[in-house]
Amino acid sequence: MLLNNTLQINVPEGFQTMDPEAASAKLIEKGEGVCLSNPDRHIAMTIGWKTLGRFTGFLLKEKDLEKNMESSILNAMKPFQCHNDGPCTQNVGGQEARGFCYHYIAQDTEMSAASILLRREKTVYYFHLYTRTALVQENTALWEELLTTARWIA
């Protein structure tokens, strides 16, 4: 699957692409993106991107974007007893994306998540993983495989 004409990903077996309306509810940031899910494995992965304006792109560094993402997510997740588990990094097609890991309670189920981003020129790419905590090890391995095997086209 080619995203934003720049990022080629291999969708894992058993995953489906959510329809755009359902996916937009899962995307945290405003902008374009895709949500992949496998209900049998209790996992969802979103990849979103947005282009920064000239002025914003000049002012905001990647560290600022990371802090803004973390703050936005933690504030939005307060009703779900969200706890920050600390920083995390992930290789995305040979480039390092940084963010944080966290866990929360949704419908009486403990969930684990990771949110990372990387900036390529004027475009910021956001990557999110959501999974049941009971399945976090095996589902994190799927997420890592998807991201490490991704290829940047341009």
Please provide the distance, in angstroms rounded to a whole number, between the alpha carbons at the two ends of the chain: 15
Calpha distance 150→92 (Å, rounded): 6
Q: What is the mean pLDDT of the chain?
A: 89
- Across the range 62-67, mean pLDDT stands at 90
Domain chopping of the chain, boundaries: 2-9+16-152
pLDDT for the residue 150: 95
Measured CA to CA in angstroms, residue 95 lies from 39, 78, 123 at distances of 29, 31, 14
CATH classification for the domain delimited by 2-9+16-152, as one of 3.40.50.300, 2.60.40.420, 3.40.1000.10, 3.40.449.10: 3.40.1000.10
Per-residue pLDDT tens for 25-53?
A: 555 556 788 889 999 999 999 999 998 88
pLDDT for the residue 42: 92
CB atoms within 10 A of CB 137: 10
Task: Tell me which amino acid residue 110 is.
Answer: E
pLDDT for the residue 25: 56
Of residues 97, 84, 82, the one with CA closest to residue 144: 97
Per-residue pLDDT tens for 119-131?
A: 998 899 999 999 9
pLDDT for the residue 127: 95
Per-residue pLDDT tens for 7-30?
A: 999 998 899 887 766 655 555 556
pTM for this prediction: 0.90
Calpha distance 126→92 (Å, rounded): 11
Per-residue pLDDT tens for 73-110?
A: 999 999 999 999 999 999 999 999 999 999 999 999 99
